[in-house]
Chains A and B, each alone.
Chain A
Amino acid sequence: MTRINEKFAELSAKNEKALITYIMVGYPNESATISIVRGLIKGGADIIELGFPFSDPLADGPVIQNASTVSLNNGTKITSFFKIVKKIRNETDIPLVLMTYTNILYHKGYASFIAEAKKAGIDGFILPDMSIEESKEYIESAKNMADTIFLISPNTTKSRIEKIVKTSSGFLYLVAVYGTTGIKAGIQNYTLKAIKKVKKIAKGKIPIGVGFGVSTPEDVKKYITAGADAVIVGSAFLKLIEKTPKNSLEKSIASFTKSLKKQTILK
């Protein structure tokens, strides 16, 4: 059983849903990343997505795009990223998911990148530009090494959802709204319908996480009530990080995380 599966099983036993948080490693700098992770854990995050920057993050909105640029300008490299992951791993057993773009893995070689990531303590991958059609080598390289979390959009067809369910492990990432990360589109009826549709097709075999534009405790509550097994919050954390002085980062992150996590605990 992978760390991610264990986490969902543990939460289910407690009648809780998962809060998944995203941050960009190296934003605003390397040492702040550690404080931010500590804050996330203190606040009760269940799974942490660690973003690795890419020069052309076409599925991301301005907030993550900017964090990506800052991180790259700070000199974040693959080796420094893995060093940070190891540091985090020394402090916690929380599931860690790496979110980046296909070329970063392809360039180093899927198998070698995934093996190194696994060694550092990464449990799964999210690659927003990896389609299931092109995923054969990636899936084979990740087998028994890490979870491969694919995205589903509200406009994905039933037959395609079936294929994605078969190809994914860990959890499914349901994109809440048409748009890039951080989009302010509000909660749409089509998303609530999509949660039900995907749940029906997944038949409880894999949890469903809802992300993109989820930024407040109210958003979290609505998606959980609609049946999501997890919610994913990213840009809202980066915005908070941007306006928080470094010495109070851990505390503010913990407090915001706590407010979100509260909504995932079912009564």
Chain B
Amino acid sequence: MKYPKDGKFGEFGGKYIPETLVPAIEELEENYLKFKENKEFKKELDYYLKQYAGRPTPLYYAKNLTEKCGGAKIYLKREDLLHGGAHKINNTLGQALLAKKMNKKRIIAETGAGQHGVATAMACAVLGMKSEVYMGYKDTIRQKLNVYRMNMLGSKVHPVKSGSKTLKDAINEAIRDWITNVEDTYYLLGSAVGPHPYPVMVRDFQSVIGEEIKTQMKKLSNKTPDIVIACVGGGSNAIGTFYPLVNTNTEIIGVEAAGKGLKSKYHSATLSAGSKGVLHGMMTYLLQDDEGQVTETHSISAGLDYPGVGPEHAYLKDTNRVKYRSATDAEVIDAFLMLTRTEGIIPALESSHAIAEAMKVARKSKRSESIVVTLSGRGDKDVEEVQRYLSKNDKN
């Protein structure tokens, strides 16, 4: 859906927000519409994406992994090679530049694994703006390296101790801050979630991934990829990968975090196991109990530990355009180790979900077919977490 005027993807999305935020959301939408087609803005963003962030990223043929799986050719879209180590910088540069044009002096953000927080801190540093980041207390422990990075980049990190102490609560706190400081603060949301226009805006800034995949695959094989796969938490790297390919013949697969299994309570697979509801300003699929209380989630990957999902994904699921599957923590660790050992690339645990699915799909596909997996980030931040998992589960 190009630009939904009412912010709706079918019945999903919308603006379920406290009244105090309405003028801020309206101001944001007005400015986004104004600048997204503005030549100067586009030129400036393009400059930062190329010269600062390192775009375009390579489309790497993972020959060893392909041979190991024995099926379709696996290509990796190397968002892990971007400055900061994740796709998050595409969106933060876009939004921080927009905030600057809007003369906002203070930027707030939330982060799960810390990659969005780091990317926000970087974009704000290079554009000369102040930033503060909300992060679930639990996530500050498991991703302490990213907390240090944010601090060094000049960003203040607020550990959030309420609720499940993860991303969902960091978003609640960021929204509370925004309500209180609405007149001079810009909320730089990290995923394709939240009230309209955030899901559309984040998608547009991340669509550079899918656009490049299209161009690069065309050069390689003169067609779009047969299959694309990306991991889905809130779903920003996935929607950025999928959106430019939605109107093509490419088969599209999103992969959620099945944690300890979909039948357990310990997962974050919102689309696979959730139901419709309203959270963080949007109507979408949610993990909730019989009473409509949002439930706690689990994933080995802090970046996917979120009980909601971007509303456009909810729409793509219901219209059957995209298949949503899931990978367990155990499958994710296997995929993480497999890519690390076959290709010498340490993937983020988030991206390892997509790798896990790609390995399954490749085995069942023809050798003539191509699979593009978005490697949304690098796994340096996850090394300790993987080590903990391996020693606990006696694996090596």
Contact = CB atoms under 8 A, between A and B. Distances in A.
Interface of A: 54-59, 61, 65, 69, 72, 77-78, 101-108, 128-131, 133-134, 150-153, 155-157, 160, 164, 175, 178-180, 183
A107 B162 CA distance: 23
A156 B19 CA distance: 7
A157 B162 contact: no
B136 to A, nearest CB: 13
Which of A105, A130, A131 has the most chain B CB atoms inside 10 A of its CB?
A131
A130 B16 contact: yes
A153 B19 CA distance: 6
B20 A155 contact: yes
A152 B283 CA distance: 22
Contact of A56 (B22, B168, B181, B276): B168
B294 interface: yes
20 contacts: A55-B295, A56-B279, A58-B176, A59-B176, A61-B176, A78-B291, A105-B292, A107-B277, A128-B18, A129-B16, A129-B18, A130-B16, A131-B19, A134-B283, A153-B18, A153-B19, A155-B182, A156-B23, A175-B19, A178-B179
Interface of B: 6, 14-20, 22-23, 162-163, 168-169, 172, 175-176, 179-183, 275-281, 283, 286, 288, 291-295
A194 to B, nearest CB: 12
Contacts of B283: 106, 134
Contacts of A54: 292-293
Q: From DSSP, what is the main secondary structure of chain B's interface residues?
A: mixed
Nearest to B162: A65
A56 B297 CA distance: 14
B235 to A, nearest CB: 19
Given A57-B172, A69-B162, 5 more contacts: A103-B278, A103-B288, A151-B19, A156-B19, A180-B176
Contacts of B277: 103, 106-107
A128 B18 CA distance: 5
A102 B16 contact: yes
A134 B19 CA distance: 12
B200 to A, nearest CB: 16
Given A58-B176, A107-B291, A155-B23, A178 B181 contact: yes
B294 A178 contact: no
B318 to A, nearest CB: 17
B180 A129 contact: no
Contact of B294 (A56, A106, A108, A179): A56
Nearest to A65: B162
A55 B293 contact: yes
A152 to B, nearest CB: 6
Contacts of A105: 292
Contact of A59 (B162, B179, B182, B295): B179
B180 A152 contact: no
A26 B292 CA distance: 17
Nearest to A179: B180
A59 B278 contact: no
Contacts of A104: 291-292
A103 B292 contact: yes
Contacts of A56: 163, 168-169, 172, 279-280, 294
A62 to B, nearest CB: 8
Contacts of A59: 18, 176, 179
B257 to A, nearest CB: 20
Nearest to A105: B292
B159 to A, nearest CB: 15
Given A72-B293, A102-B278, A108-B292, A153 B22 contact: yes
A61 B179 CA distance: 11
A187 B84 CA distance: 45
Contacts of B281: 129
Contacts of A133: 6, 14-15
Contacts of A155: 20, 22-23, 182-183
Given A108-B292, A178-B182, A58 B18 contact: yes
A77 B19 contact: no
Nearest to B16: A129
Contacts of A157: 23
Contacts of B19: 128, 131, 150-153, 156, 164, 175
Given A129-B18, A129-B278, A150-B19, A107 B175 contact: no
